[in-house]
Amino acid sequence: MSKKTILVVDDEKELVELVSSYLIKEGMDVIKAYDGHEIIPILQREKVDLIVLDVMMPTIDGFTACEMIRKKWTVPIIMLTAKGGEMDRVQGLKIGADDYVVKPFSPKELVARIEAQLRRIELVTMKPSIIRYGELELDLDGRSVNVRGSQVVLTRKEYDLLLYLIQHEKQVFSREQIHDYVWGMDYEKGTFRTVDTHIKTLRIKLGEYGKWIKTVWGVGYKFEGDHG
C-alpha cells in the first residue's frame, strides 16, 4: 500500500496531536484541521486518502461538513463523536460516513479502522474499472450500474452491497458480515433486517439479473452471475 495522507479534523487540539502521532508512527502523512470550514479548501489543494472527522465543532459541525464533502468527493470518512446514541450513528452513516467511532476511543483501534478502510479502497482500485456479468455492468470509477445500457439508480448503500457481493463472487456472507462491512461495525446491532430490505430492493432494481443475488437459507447471501 502506498503512503497515505489522512486529514484529521477535531476542535480538540490535544486529540488531533495524539491521533496524528499514532498515524505518523504507522508511516502515514497527516494534515491537521480544527473546524469544518477548513476542510473544503484542504481537499481542493491536497490529495487526501481518508478523513477523520469530529461531529461536535464550533463553526461547521461534522454532519454538515460530511454532507458538503459528499457533494464532490468520495474520500472515506470516519466520524468521531462523544455521543453514543443510535440516532447520531444512524445520521452519520446515512449522510455518507463510512465508519463511526465513539469517544473516548483507543487510538490503536482508530488506526486499525483507518487501515481497514484504506485496504478496502486499495482492493477496489486494484480491480478493473468495469465489471461485467452478461448485460449487467458496474463502473467502479463512476460508481454506477447499468443493465442493458440503461443506468440503474442505486443508493450509496445499495451500490456498496452489490459491489461487495460481486467482488466476492460465490462466497456466502451472513447478514451480520454484510451489515458490518456496508454499514460499519458501530451501526446498531440487531438491525440486520435492513440487509434483507436492501437485498430485496436490489433484486427488484436489477430486474432479471436480480436472481444472481442468491439466498443461502439459514446462512445469508451470495452473488453468482453469468459472465456470458
Amino acid at the residue 171: Q
User: 209-218: which pairs have CB atoms within 8 A and are 24 or more residues apart?
Assistant: 209/133, 209/134, 209/135, 209/136, 209/147, 212/133, 212/136, 213/162, 213/165, 216/172
pLDDT over 90, % of the chain: 49
Which residue in this structure is represented by grid cell 479534523?
Answer: 9
Q: What is the pLDDT of residues 139-195, one digit of tens each?
A: 888 889 999 989 999 998 899 999 999 988 888 999 888 888 887 755 555 567 888
Q: Which domains does the chain have, with CATH numbers?
A: 5-125 (3.40.50.2300), 127-223 (1.10.10.10)
What are residue 40's phi and psi, to 5 degrees? -60, -50
The Cβ of residue 139 has, within 10 Å, a number of other Cβ atoms equal to 13
pLDDT of residue 58: 87
Could you tell me the pLDDT band of residue 210, with boundaries at 50, 70 and 90?
very high
**Residue 174: exposure state from Cβ atoms within 10 A (0-12, 13-18, ≥19):** middle
Interatomic CA distance for residues 94 and 157, integer angstroms: 9
pLDDT of residue 114: 93
Question: Could you tell me which of 62, 63, 65 has the C-alpha nearest to residue 40?
Answer: 65
Omega of the bond leading into 104 within 30 degrees of 0 (cis): yes
CB 63 within 8 A of CB 53: no
Q: What is the pLDDT of residues 76-131, one digit of tens each?
A: 999 888 766 567 667 777 788 888 888 888 889 899 989 988 887 776 555 567 88
Higher pLDDT, 11 or 121: 11
pLDDT over 70, % of the chain: 89
pLDDT of residue 124: 59
Could you tell me the pLDDT band of residue 39, with boundaries at 50, 70 and 90?
very high
pTM surpassing 0.85? no
Helix residue spans in 57-192 (DSSP H):
62-70, 86-94, 107-126, 156-167, 175-183
